[in-house]
Amino acid sequence: MGSTIGDIGEFGLIARVTAKFPQTENVIIGPGDDAAVVRAADGRVVATTDLLVEGRHFRRDWSSARDVGHKAAAQNLADVAAMGARPTALLVGLAAPPDLPTAWTDELSEGLSAECALAGAAVVGGDVVRADTVTLAITALGDLGGRAAVRRDGARPGDLVAVNGTLGRSAAGLALLRAGADGPAECLAAHRRPRPPYPEGPRAADLGATAMLDVSDGLVQDLGHVAAASGVAIALREEALPADPVLEEAVRVLAGLGAAPPRAAAFMLAGGEDHAMAAAFPAGTRLPAGWTEIGAVTEGDGVTVDGAVPPRGGWDHFG
């Protein structure tokens, strides 16, 4: 039988876990001291934080510890990229029962480290405490590299609205898991390990994006935050959403299981946790490969799809 975190204690666990975290050139002092020291060449630091609670944000019977590490890092690193910054560092707080196997925390560390490597960041420290439920508290830092931060309140009538990354696959993956399905594998993977397009945040900023965020709570709900902050309306066109045969297959699988799934487009509009980038750009902006124009900013308020207000959907943090 393997060891548990209760067997080796807090400091033993921290030493075991942090040994797995390689550092980057942005890190001057990494794990091991009272605090880390991270370069901030721009003179400004982008910071964000998130909580993941077992049973609410992940299930150990559906996701491996490595999956959880990838997901925890991704949702925070994506927030940094959505401000137009390049992620630099991650701080991790772990609360867990003392009988949690150390093998699980080792795999968690590997997932965190691997996702950071994809974004060019590093885990620089954290803390471990006892709790009844496995909970992760993640803080991500980033560097704007001389750019102005891209906020939610800069969209103006006449701007185009575009997305980069997959939409709806994570929500479909969750529905598949709940239905007991074993595919499509791409949707299950999207739920367990979202793949944010990290470089596209800074690229959008360099292109002159007027507003931006990552799609964490659902495309319509998140663009609603942009509309409210900017004092505008956003008109989306369903036919402009990127075609996704994998998502169509997921709908067919769910229907075959009697799950009465929504249409693929509904998953795209209301599903969250894919962490695609959604941004507004000045009219006439020539979008690079990977970006798809899906609508426009207009006078008014709220978000419409083909002229109609869509049903309420997306992630509810207290639902």
Residues in the chain: 319
Which of 60-71 are b and which e, b meaning 16 or more Cβ less than 10 Å from the residue's Cβ?
eeebbbbbbbbb
Neighbours of 214 (CB within 10 A): 30
pLDDT at 311: 81
123 bridge partner residues:
90
- The H helix count followed by the E strand count for the chain is 9, 12
* pLDDT (mean) for 248-270: 94
Binding-site residues for Mg(2+):
34, 48-50, 79, 127, 214, 217
Residues 6+ apart with CB under 8 A from 53: 133, 134, 135
Closest CA to 273 of 170, 178, 189: 170
Q: With contact defined as beta carbons under 8 Å apart, do 149 and 282 qualify?
A: no
Handedness of CA 277, 115, 28, 30 (dihedral sign): positive
Encode pLDDT of 142-186 as tens digits: 999 999 999 999 999 999 999 999 999 999 999 999 999 999 999
Give the distance, in angstroms, between the CA of residue 49 and the centroid of all CA atoms in the same chain. Answer: 12
* pLDDT (mean) for 295-314: 91
Distances (CA, A) of 190 to 186, 202, 274: 6, 23, 7
pLDDT at 151: 98
pLDDT at 8: 87
Distances (CA, A) of 106 to 12, 14, 120, 185: 12, 10, 21, 25
pLDDT at 16: 82
User: Up-side HSE of residue 167: CA atoms within 13 Å toward CB?
Assistant: 30
Could you tell me which residue, 34 or 78, shows the higher pLDDT? 78
Binding-site residues:
34, 48-50, 57, 79, 126-127, 152, 214, 216-217, 273, 315
What distance in Å separates the CA atoms of residue 196 and residue 213, rounded to the nearest whole number? Answer: 12
Encode pLDDT of 28-43 as tens digits: 999 888 899 999 999 9
Encode pLDDT of 214-234 as tens digits: 999 999 999 999 999 999 999
Three-state DSSP class for residue 189: helix
Three-state DSSP class for residue 122: strand
Binding-site residues for substrate:
57, 273, 315
Predicted confidence (pLDDT) at residue 56 exceeds the cutoff of 50: yes
Closest CA to 283 of 297, 304, 294, 301: 297
Distances (CA, A) of 95 to 17, 71, 137: 14, 17, 8
**Domains of the chain: residue spans and CATH:** 9-143 (3.30.1330.10), 160-305 (3.90.650.10)
Identify the H or E element spanning 29: strand 27-29
Residues 6+ apart with CB under 8 A from 274: 165, 166, 167, 168, 169, 170, 171, 190, 194, 215
Binned at pLDDT 50, 70 and 90, residue 318 comes out as very low
pLDDT at 314: 59
pLDDT at 11: 74
Would the pTM of this model clear 0.75, i.e. be above it?
Answer: yes
* pLDDT (mean) for 83-110: 96
Binding-site residues for ATP:
126-127, 152, 216
Q: With contact defined as beta carbons under 8 Å apart, do 254 and 181 qualify?
A: yes
Distances (CA, A) of 189 to 33, 70, 241, 317: 36, 11, 21, 22
